[in-house]
Amino acid sequence: MTKRLLTLAFLSLGVAPVCAAPKAPLLRFTPPAAVFARGRVSSEFSEVKAALSPDGTRVLWGSMNRPGGPGGWDLWESRKEGAAWSAPSAVPFCSPQNDFDPSFAPDGSGVYFFSNRPGGSGGDDLWFAPLDSSSGQYGSARNLGPGVNSPGDEWAPVVSPDGSTLLFATDGRPGAGLHDLFVARLVDGTWREPLPLPTVNGPDEDFDAAYLDDGRSLVFTRRTKDQDGADLWLAAWHDGRYAPPRRLGHEVNTEKGWNLGPSTAAAEPGVLYFSSHRPDDTAGRLDIYRIGYRLTTTPADATGLPDREPRPASPKKTVDRP
């Protein structure tokens, strides 16, 4: 069985006062977080990582338990019909194996995702399914190849807004911990050798990253040693590098559970999508939520919080998917 950190509980850090003005930007949210497309996308099943097309007319996401797809973990799609979303259907490039973590190319030319289908380098690999702009139909998915994929797992591919950088998580390359965030640059149409994000990755699990509106700052998922769940964190871009990551507050992180699958959409600047189970407002298990945000350097506005204490390195391990 392939591996993936997914469950139905969350651990968050409550908002604490920030005493000194940070040099790097932090986040201010416009709460509350709201369930996205209740009854269509967010449902009684589990939904993870929304991917909106650049024109805002399509949304894809992953589900581990929605019936009717070809495999155990499938990608689903809904299309905008006026002000509403259509009934979901499995995307045609889904396989009988696990397909997950979709994201659209910035130019709308197709969808990146991971799969453990045959034809890869081992474990979960990154794939790309083209989308024809004239017909609106998806083509056959292709593997991104051994230059990006490893014998381990690659998750959550996303391309930077300018199209120059592929960001993803992997446990198949030397890094700081278990799954780490890596980037590959596009040179002459080819993704070059991936490199880790040294000031972002920690000793445990770092995965599921999304670019914010400035095109460089990231929101990502971190699971620290012995944590019962995972939280969303901010890695702000400042002075040509990433500032030390800061855990986000209760606006997105809930008590004793998992927060993961952040994403943003070109059609909706200033909006963060993420997956969570928020008992005060839920459609089922893991749902997809949306919340407004802005980057700010004003400490009274910010909800990015420093980690409580340094974490020791943990031994390499894997976690079975539920």
For the stretch 210-237, pLDDT in tens is 999 999 999 999 998 888 889 999 999 9
* CATH number of the domain encompassing residue 187: 2.120.10.30
Does the residue 316 lie in any domain? Answer: no
Burial of residue 274, with CB atoms counted within 10 A of its CB: 0-12 exposed, 13-18 middle, 19 or more buried: buried
Highest mean pLDDT among 17-26, 272-281, 291-300: 272-281
Which residues fall within 8 angstroms of residue 2, CB to CB, at 6 or more apart? 98, 116, 123, 124, 153, 321
Per-residue pLDDT of 235-273, as tens digits, reads: 999 999 999 999 999 999 998 788 999 999 999 999 999
Determine the pLDDT at residue 303.
66
In degrees and rounded to multiples of 5, residue 297 shows phi and psi of: -110, 5
| Cα 160 to the center of its chain, rounded Å | 13
Determine the pLDDT at residue 304.
63
pLDDT at residue 313 greater than cutoff 70: no
Instruction: Compute the Cα dihedral for 181, 21, 275, 36 and give only its sign.
Output: negative
Average pLDDT over residues 262-286: 96
Does the residue 109 lie in any domain? Answer: yes
Find the domain containing 150 and state its range: 26-305
pLDDT at residue 35 greater than cutoff 90: yes
Determine the pLDDT at residue 159.
98
- Distance (Å, rounded) from C-alpha 204 to C-alpha 309? 14
Which residues fall within 8 angstroms of residue 82, CB to CB, at 6 or more apart? none
Cα–Cα distances (Å) from 227 to 10, 36, 260, in that order, read 9, 27, 14
Determine the pLDDT at residue 19.
42
Q: What is the DSSP letter of 18?
A: -
Determine the pLDDT at residue 44.
97
pTM: 0.87
| Cα 157 to the center of its chain, rounded Å | 8
pLDDT at residue 307 greater than cutoff 70: no
Does the residue 262 lie in any domain? Answer: yes
Provide the residue type at 84 as one letter: A
Determine the pLDDT at residue 12.
28
299 confidence band (pLDDT: 50, 70, 90): low
Does the residue 226 lie in any domain? Answer: yes
| C-alpha count within 13 angstroms, C-beta hemisphere, residue 16 | 10
Does the residue 227 lie in any domain? Answer: yes
Provide the residue type at 127 as one letter: W
Average pLDDT over residues 72-87: 95
Average pLDDT over residues 156-185: 96
Mean pLDDT value across the chain: 88
Q: Which of 29-33, 120-124, 284-288, 307-311 has the lowest average pLDDT? A: 307-311
Determine the pLDDT at residue 79.
97
Provide the residue type at 56 as one letter: G
Determine the pLDDT at residue 63.
97
Provide the residue type at 230 as one letter: A
Closest to 145 (Cα-Cα) out of 126, 118, 130: 126
- Count CB atoms within 10 A of the CB of residue 189: 5
Determine the pLDDT at residue 306.
47
68 confidence band (pLDDT: 50, 70, 90): very high
Rounded (10°) CA dihedral 88, 94, 98, 103: -70
Instruction: Compute the Cα dihedral for 96, 97, 101, 102 and give only its sign.
Output: negative
Does the residue 1 lie in any domain? Answer: no
pLDDT at residue 317 greater than cutoff 80: no
Which residues fall within 8 angstroms of residue 270, CB to CB, at 6 or more apart? 213, 292, 293, 294
Determine the pLDDT at residue 202.
94
The residue count for the chain? 322
Does the residue 9 lie in any domain? Answer: no
Does the residue 3 lie in any domain? Answer: no
Work out how many domains the chain is built from and give that number. 1
Peptide bond into 130 cis (omega under 30): no
